[in-house]
Amino acid sequence: MSDYTSKNGLLFTNDMNTLVGIDSSSNEFTGLVPYGPKEIADEAFAGTSVTSISLQDSVKELPDCLFENITSLESVKLRVSLQVLPPYLFSGCTNLKKISLPSVVTEFPEGLFYGCS
């Protein structure tokens, strides 16, 4: 039995509570992370070539450096349930053009946009 479940081009733990990455054997991922996972694993998007990502309200917390060095990333939509942004979240995202942040975020952590232009 597999340790992960693939759905919409993403890999999840079998209980569907944690997004662990993009399924490299699929081309279904459109940038929209579906409602359901409560967590996203460290480096879930590392080494990918996604251009946009939209997270749903089920995700309550993000790991440090989640989007770090994804140079193809152009837009990100973070949902209102996120109150705290982790350090270095967008570090090295050199093509980032648009970010939708929750209005409840009151501070920007260390290195949030490090290396961005």
32-57 pLDDT, tens per residue?
A: 999 999 999 988 998 789 999 999 88
With a CB cutoff of 8 Å and minimum separation 6, the contacts of 65 are 42, 43, 86, 87, 88, 89, 91
Confidence of residue 74 (pLDDT cuts 50, 70, 90): very high
Digit-coded pLDDT (tens) for 81-114 = 788 899 999 999 999 999 998 888 888 999 999 9
Nearest to 63 by CA among 25, 91, 26: 91
How far apart are alpha carbons 36 and 46 in whole angstroms? Answer: 21
| pTM for the whole structure | 0.87
Q: What percent of the chain has pLDDT over 70?
A: 99
If phi over 0 gives left and psi between -120 and 50 gives alpha, with beta otherwise, what is residue 97?
A: alpha
Phi, psi of 18 (to 5 degrees): -130, 125
Nearest in space to 69 (alpha carbons), one of 52, 55, 88: 88
Burial of 40 from C-beta contacts in 10 A (0-12 / 13-18 / 19+): buried
**For residue 1, pLDDT beyond 90:** no
